[in-house]
Structure 1
Amino acid sequence: MKKILMLPGDGIGPEIIKQVFKILKNYSIIFNNIKFFFSYIGGISIDKFNSSLTKETIEQCNNCDSIFLGCVGGYKWNRNIEKPENGLLKLRKKFNFFSNIRPIKCPFKNIDMLIVRELTGGIYYGKPKGFSKQIINNIPSWYAYDTELYNEQEIIKIIKISLNLSLNRKKKICVIDKSNVLETSKLWRIVSNFLLKFYKNIKLSYLYIDFASIEIIKNFNKFDIIVTSNLFGDILSDECSLLTGSLGLLPSISINNNFLSLLEPCHGSAPDISGKNIANPIGSLLSLVLMMEYVFNDLKNSKKLYYCIYKVLSMGFGTLDMKKILNNFKLVTTEEFGDLVNHYFVLND
C-alpha cells in the first residue's frame, strides 16, 4: 500500500492540487494500492494552529511514501513573525530532501534538460544569520547577515545524483558556481572533479552563475544536466520558465536517503489570482508525471499522462498565462484543463 500525503497549502495551491487528485483517484484504480491523506502547511496552518508546520503534519509525513505539495505563502502573512515559507523550509530540512530535480522540458520547442539543485544546505540554512544594530559615524544602523555554508558530504551526494542521472541521458554535466569569489564554490569544483574519476565518458564543465544565467536562455541546447547550489538553483530554475513560456509549466521532485519524495510545482502561491479558477495546473500535473515514474516506477503511465497533458496543449487549450505561447489559443479554466487531461488519461487506459 502506497500512502500519499496531500498538502494543498495556500493561494492557488488547493485549486491545482484538486486537478492532481482527479487523476490520482483514477490512477489508484489502475494501481490498486494507494491511500490518500490531507493536511496543512504554510499560511493556512498558521491560521489554524499558529504554526507553519505542526507536529501532527510531521507525523503524517513520517507515515507516508510520498508528499504532494501545492504552494505556500501570500501577502496575508507578510507581517507575521512566523512565515508560511518556514513550513516548507522546515519540511525540507526535517526530512533531508537534499536533492531537488527540476525538468525543464517542452516538446514544442525541443527543450529537454534537468536542473539538479542542492536543497538543504547553503545560504538558506547556514548560521549565523539575522539582523543586528551597530553604530556607524555615531548613527545607529541596522545590518543583516546570512551565511553560505557547505560541507564535503553535502556536495558529494548532490554531484553523485547528477552523475548517475547523466548515465541515462547525454552524459554531460555543467556545474554552476561562483568560484572566482566564493570559497564554497571552490569546494564544489574540488569535489566534482574528484568524483568524475569514478565515471567514464561523462563530460564535466563549469560556468559562473552570472554568465550561466545568460547562456542558459541563449543556448539552452548546449545543456543537459545542470547541478548547482541551493540559491543558484532556485534562481536558475525559475529563470528557465522563460524557455517554456510560463513558470506554471515547471514541475519538481525532491528526494532523501529514505525513499521519501516531495513533489511540487516550481511556482508560488499567486495570491492575486487565488480563487479565480484561472491558475495553471500544469506544473503540478507534470509533478504527478514524476511521481508515477520515480515513486511508483510506472514509466508506462508516466509517459501516458505526459502525453495527455501535451495533447490538451497541442489542441490549443490553456489557462490565461498560456495565451502568448499556444497557437489557436482556447481559454479554459483551471477546472476545465484538469478535466480535459483526466478525460484523455482515462480514455487512453
Structure 2
Amino acid sequence: MKQVLLLAGDGIGPEIMAQAKKVLALLRAHGLALNVLEGNIGGAGVDSEGVPYPESTRALVAQADAVLLACVGGKKWDNLPRDLRPEQGLLAIRADLGVFANLRPVKAISALSEQSSLKKELIEGLDLLIVRELTGDIYFGQPRGIEMQEGERIGFNTMRYSETEIRRIAKVAFEAARARNKSVCSIDKMNVLECSQLWREVVQAVSADYPDVRLTHMLVDNAAMQLIRQPKAFDVLLTGNLFGDILSDEASMLTGSIGLLPSASVREDGVGLYEPIHGSAPDIAGQNKANPLAMILSVGMMLRYSLEQPLLCEKIEQAVEAVINQGLRTADIAQKGQEIATTDEMGEAVCAQLQQLLAL
C-alpha cells in the first residue's frame, strides 16, 4: 500500500489541504489503496517543535512514497534567524527527498481566458510544461557568502552544474516531451556563461538518444519575451534552477491566476513532493477565501507521477475544469459581478464532479 504524507504548513495551507483530503477520501472510498500520514513543516514546525523541519516529520518523510505539501511562511515568523525561517523547511525537505526535477504544467482553461493579462487568442489552448532542475545551480553552488574585502562587504554565489546533473534533468524533459508534442526548448545563457555552455553541450548530446523529439535552444532573456509574445509556441521548456524559478512564475500568470497551478518535484524512483506554486497568503488565512484548485490539481500530479494512477489524475483535471465551466469562482478568478465561492464550496463542488466521473 502506498504511503502519502500530508503537510498543511502555514497560512491558507490547512484550509486548502482540507479540500485535498476530501478528494483523497473520495478516491479511497472508490478503491484507491492509500495510507495517509500527517506532519508539520514551516512555521507550524517551528511552533510545534522549534524548527521548520522537525525530526518527527523527517521520520515520516522516510516512509512516504509521496509528500503533498500546501505552503509555508508568514509574517509571524519573519523575524526569526535565517535557519529557523519557515522557508528553510521547504529547502530541507527537498534536499532530504533528493527530488531534482520540478515539473510545472501551465494549461489555460477556456472559461478563464478573460482572466489573463494577455489577449485571449494568445492563451486559448495553451498547454506547456516547464521542467526545472531543482537541486543545483546558483542556489546551492559553493563558495557562497558575504565577506569584507578592502573595507566593504561583498556578496557572492557560484553558478555550478555537473554533466551528471544536466544529463538527468535533460532526460526527464525529453521523456516528458515524448508523451506530449515531442518538442523541447532548452533555456540557457551560453553567450556569457560557461556553466550554460556546458548545459547546452550536454543537452545536445542527450538529444541524440531521442531522435523523435525536436530540440531547440533559446537564451533566457529571449525566452522571457517569447513566453509573453507567443506562449503557445512552446511544448516542454527545459531550464536550470535560477532561470526556471523566474520563467515558471512568469508563465504561471499566463492562465490568469497563480491559484490554478500545481507542481511536482520528483526523483528517478518516482518518489515526489507535490505542492501548489502559490504562497501561504497570510492576509486571507482562516477566512475560507483561498482558491484550493492548485492544491487539488497537485493531488492529481501525485497520482500521475508517484502513485501510478494517470487515469485518476485525468479525472481530477476534468472535475476541476467542469467546476470552472459551471461558473464557480473564488475571488482570485472572479470577474466583476460574479458570485464568489468559498474554499469549502469549491472543494465540495470538485468532489461532486469527481464522484460523477468515478461512477462512469
The SS at the match of 1:317 is: coil
Q: Which residue of 2 aligns with 1:209?
A: 220
Q: Which residue of 2 aligns with 1:41?
A: 41
Q: Which residue of 2 aligns with 1:101?
A: 103
What's the offset of the Cα at 1:101? 0.7
1: CA distance, partners of 2:104 / 2:337: 29
Q: Which residue of 1 aligns with 2:318?
A: 307
Q: Which residue of 2 aligns with 1:127?
A: 142
Alignment of 1:56-205 (within 5 A): 56-81=56-81, 82-108=84-110, 109-136=124-151, 141-205=152-216
1: CA distance, partners of 2:355 / 2:210: 42
The SS at the match of 2:23 is: helix
Check conservation: 1:217, 1:242, Cα contact below 8 A.
no
Check conservation: 2:40, 2:57, Cα contact below 8 A.
yes
1:333 aligns with 2:342: yes
Q: Which residue of 2 aligns with 1:224?
A: 235
What letter corresponds to residue 347 of structure 2 in structure 1? G
Distance verdict in 2 for CA 1:149–1:321, change over 3 Å: same
2: CA distance, partners of 1:38 / 1:303: 25
Superposition RMSD on alpha carbons, in Å?
Answer: 1.5
The SS at the match of 2:30 is: helix
The SS at the match of 1:296 is: coil
- Structure 2's unaligned 5+ residue stretches are 111-123
What letter corresponds to residue 135 of structure 2 in structure 1? T
Q: Which residue of 2 aligns with 1:250?
A: 261
Matched pairs, number? 343
State the Cα deviation string for residues 186-241 of structure 1 (Å, max 9, x = none). Answer: 11101011111121132111111111111112201110000101111111111112
> After alignment, is 14-23 or 46-55 more displaced?
46-55
1: CA distance, partners of 2:106 / 2:274: 15
1: CA distance, partners of 2:176 / 2:353: 30
What's the offset of the Cα at 1:148? 1.4
Alignment of 1:263-282 (within 5 A): 263-282=274-293
- Structure 1's unaligned 5+ residue stretches are none
What letter corresponds to residue 107 of structure 2 in structure 1? K
Taking structure 2 as the reference length, what is the TM-score of the superposition? 0.92
> After alignment, is 125-134 or 79-88 more displaced?
125-134
What letter corresponds to residue 328 of structure 2 in structure 1? F
Q: Which residue of 2 aligns with 1:342?
A: 351
Distance verdict in 2 for CA 1:300–1:257, change over 3 Å: closer
Q: Which of these residues, 287, 293, 316, is aligned with residue 298 of structure 2?
A: 287
What's the offset of the Cα at 1:77? 1.7
Runs of 4+ deviating beyond 3 Å: none
What's the offset of the Cα at 1:39? 0.3
What letter corresponds to residue 258 of structure 2 in structure 1? L
Check conservation: 1:316, 1:328, Cα contact below 8 A.
no
Check conservation: 2:109, 2:255, Cα contact below 8 A.
no
2: CA distance, partners of 1:250 / 1:238: 10
1: CA distance, partners of 2:52 / 2:325: 39
What's the offset of the Cα at 1:328? 7.6
Distance verdict in 2 for CA 1:328–1:159, change over 3 Å: farther
State the Cα deviation string for residues 233-287 of structure 1 (Å, max 9, x = none). Answer: 1111111122100111111111112321111011111111111211111111111
> After alignment, is 1-10 or 175-184 more displaced?
175-184
What's the offset of the Cα at 1:25? 0.6
Distance verdict in 2 for CA 1:32–1:315, change over 3 Å: closer
1:12 aligns with 2:17: no
The SS at the match of 1:279 is: coil
Check conservation: 2:100, 2:134, Cα contact below 8 A.
yes
What's the offset of the Cα at 1:131? 2.2
Check conservation: 1:115, 1:225, Cα contact below 8 A.
yes
What's the offset of the Cα at 1:41? 0.7
1: CA distance, partners of 2:338 / 2:188: 39
